[in-house]
Amino acid sequence: MKLIFDPEIAVKIHKMNERVRWQHPSIMARGIDQTSMVLDDGKDGEPEFSFMVIGDTGTQPHKHYHPQRQVAEAMLKHQQECSFVLHTGDVIYVVGSQEYYPQNFIQPYREFLRGGENPQRIAYDNMVFNKPILPVPGNHDYYDVPLMYRLFAGTTLPIRTLLRYKDFEIGWHGSYQGDAYAKAFLDYLQKFRSPEQLEFHLDEYYTAKTDAGRCLRYEPGKFTRLPNRYYTFRYGGIDFFALDSNTFNEPSPLPDTKEGEAQRRELQQRRHEIEREELQILDACNQLNADNPEDAEQLDALRAKLYQIDEVKIDIEKQLNWWHKQPDVDLEQLEWLKQRLIESWHTEEVRGRIIYFHHPPYVTEASKWYQSQTLAVRHRLRWVLDGVAANLGNIAQNRPIVDLIFNGHAHCMEYLRTTDTGHGDSHLNCIISGGSGRRPRRQKKEGKELLEQFPGESISKVAESILFVGRNGHGEYKQLPYSFVRIDVKDGNPPQFIVRPFVVECLQGKWCDRQLETIVL
């Protein structure tokens, strides 16, 4: 049975536009930019500040431990010094359902929320952050569940929970094409039924101003909604660009050649193989007793493998379904990013630029580096940065187009640097922070280099992994390090970025956190 599916890109865009009333006449009449916000915490003018980055967090507690909560507790030690938290997506597993926000988000991050001393009273669609958590949607935040499986999973959820049976974190609901994420984090303008209600709301909360016009004012402790699924804000002279990579990750079609047909057959064979593996894992789950500590640990590992298989199946389906078809690409968002980056470079007060989104264009985690979605995102980001570079000419003065890129999706922490690719994505510093709650995964066996080859061209190195923190070891020596990153931004133009990786891990039955070696960029 197909447990989850990913809505089409056109559906994602259309539904999200409806929820924020994209370019509604009342919005246009007020000159409001729906892709900008001002983070009004009274500290924006300070050139030195810190923030944290997390990702791939939204998982349920395990039988005897809760990695996401352990990471959150380690983050609390930095809460006062950090102005906000960037979240690289997959806020809720497995299908972004509203059912799991209380358990998988509100409870773990209760100290970051107003009223967090009584988290059970906080509604997922009425969260107010005392310390901003600024997310982008991940693929799981868009996933949905077929109706027949929802009926089965929903009716059996209480029984499975009571018996501590294998709970796949799927109940009555899916994300409804990202609706739960939108209600949790976005300024959900669709809820206003009358023009008068909408206009009153716009006049009350869209009072900030940028070069692009009026925009939403994000006020910690008071009003903490995001303007859109992708957005930008300026803080301490740094321009932040939050993207929705779920709408530009569709693979290019397989070529209409003998080689393309061979690739198609290989993908079909791979799908059959992993479906057989999936059945074997499900059978193994049935043989284990969740009340036995050793069995519980095995169940956790098997569940993680099932989730990984689901992701691989979806990636294969994306390639097979777009046979002979041009991919659907969110060109509006990509063009927006290109123009905003160009404007940023022409703005004297801007010292640096940071982009964050879910799917990594560069990664060496074993399950993601070869995926077609990884290549699709890389090529579309490269197209944007090439356009920016062509416009800027010598203005950048050998600086990379953006100073830092943050991603999730890969369940690890990783720092990579791109080579001189011959494109606008040369010499980029890329940090993956996707190990903040979901079970960590290993690095690919093929080594730390990322190679690329286009038809008729030789193989070239495009990036190299400098730091990788993920699953390692076997048996009693197995290590599962969960992680987050703290970034300290220093004064100056260009600014200096101090990257401080933190790991939370259970060693000899006791949880502890530690800082890894600092990276200076």
pLDDT for the residue 100: 93
pLDDT for the residue 516: 94
Instruction: Fill in the DSSP letter of residue 434.
Output: -
pLDDT at 159 over 60: no
Across the range 282-287, mean pLDDT stands at: 73
Q: What share of the chain is helix, strand, coil (3-state, %, to 5)?
A: 35, 20, 45
Q: How confident is the model at residue 152 (pLDDT cuts 50, 70, 90)?
A: very low
**Alpha-carbon distance 227 to 76, whole Å?**
27
Q: pLDDT tens-digit profile of 215-254?
A: 999 999 999 999 999 999 999 999 999 999 999 998 876 6
How many angstroms from the chain centroid is the CA of residue 282? 28
Q: What is the CATH T-level fold of the domain 9-252+327-520, as seen in this structure?
A: Purple Acid Phosphatase; chain A, domain 2 (3.60.21)
Instruction: Give 431: exposed, middle or buried? Use CB within 10 Å, 0-12, 13-18, 19+.
Output: buried
Within a 10 A sphere around the Cβ of 12, how many other Cβ atoms? 21
Give the SS3 label for residue 159.
helix
Give the SS3 label for residue 287.
coil
Contact 182, 190 (CB under 8 A): no
Q: How confident is the model at residue 2 (pLDDT cuts 50, 70, 90)?
A: low
Across the range 66-91, mean pLDDT stands at: 96
Contact 36, 233 (CB under 8 A): yes
Which residues, listed in sequence order, are joined to residue 232 by a DSSP beta bridge? 36, 241
Give the SS3 label for residue 251.
coil
Angle at the Cα of 476 from the Cα atoms of 474 and 481, rounded to 5 degrees = 70
Q: How confident is the model at residue 268 (pLDDT cuts 50, 70, 90)?
A: confident
Could you tell me the pTM of the whole model? 0.90
Contact 344, 271 (CB under 8 A): no
Across the range 197-206, mean pLDDT stands at: 97
Across the range 257-267, mean pLDDT stands at: 71
Q: pLDDT tens-digit profile of 11-66?
A: 999 999 999 999 999 999 999 999 999 999 988 678 999 999 999 998 887 766 78
pLDDT for the residue 163: 37
Among 178-192, 348-362, 464-478, the least confident range: 464-478
pLDDT for the residue 189: 97
**Using only C-alpha atoms, what is the Rg of the chain?**
22
pLDDT for the residue 198: 97
Per-residue tokens: 66 = 């809760």
**Alpha-carbon distance 278 to 271, whole Å?**
10
The residue behind tokens 């779920």 is: 246
Cite the DSSP H helix spans in 346-417. Answer: 372-392
pLDDT at 165 over 70: no
Contact 356, 241 (CB under 8 A): yes
Residues whose CB falls within 8 Å of the CB of residue 136, separated by 6 or more in sequence, listed in order: 87, 88, 89, 229, 230, 242, 243, 244, 245, 356, 357, 358
Contact 248, 376 (CB under 8 A): yes
The residue with greater pLDDT, 378 or 316, is 378
Contact 35, 232 (CB under 8 A): yes
The residue with greater pLDDT, 369 or 57, is 57
Q: Percent of the chain at pLDDT above 70? A: 86
pLDDT at 1 over 50: no
Q: pLDDT tens-digit profile of 460-486?
A: 899 999 999 998 887 667 788 999 999
Using DSSP bridges, classify how beta strands 460-469 and 449-452 pair: parallel, antiparallel or unpaired: antiparallel
Across the range 188-212, mean pLDDT stands at: 95
pLDDT for the residue 233: 97
pLDDT for the residue 270: 76
Contact 504, 67 (CB under 8 A): yes
**Alpha-carbon distance 302 to 325, whole Å?**
36
**Alpha-carbon distance 303 to 310, whole Å?**
11
pLDDT at 329 over 70: yes
**Alpha-carbon distance 453 to 465, whole Å?**
18
Q: Percent of the chain at pLDDT above 90? A: 64
Helix (H) or strand (E) holding 278: helix 258-286
Within a 10 A sphere around the Cβ of 273, how many other Cβ atoms? 10
Which residues, listed in sequence order, are joined to residue 513 by a DSSP beta bridge? 504
Among 103-117, 175-189, 438-452, 491-505, the least confident range: 438-452
pLDDT for the residue 256: 67
**pLDDT, the chain, mean:** 87
pLDDT for the residue 394: 87
Give the SS3 label for residue 175.
coil
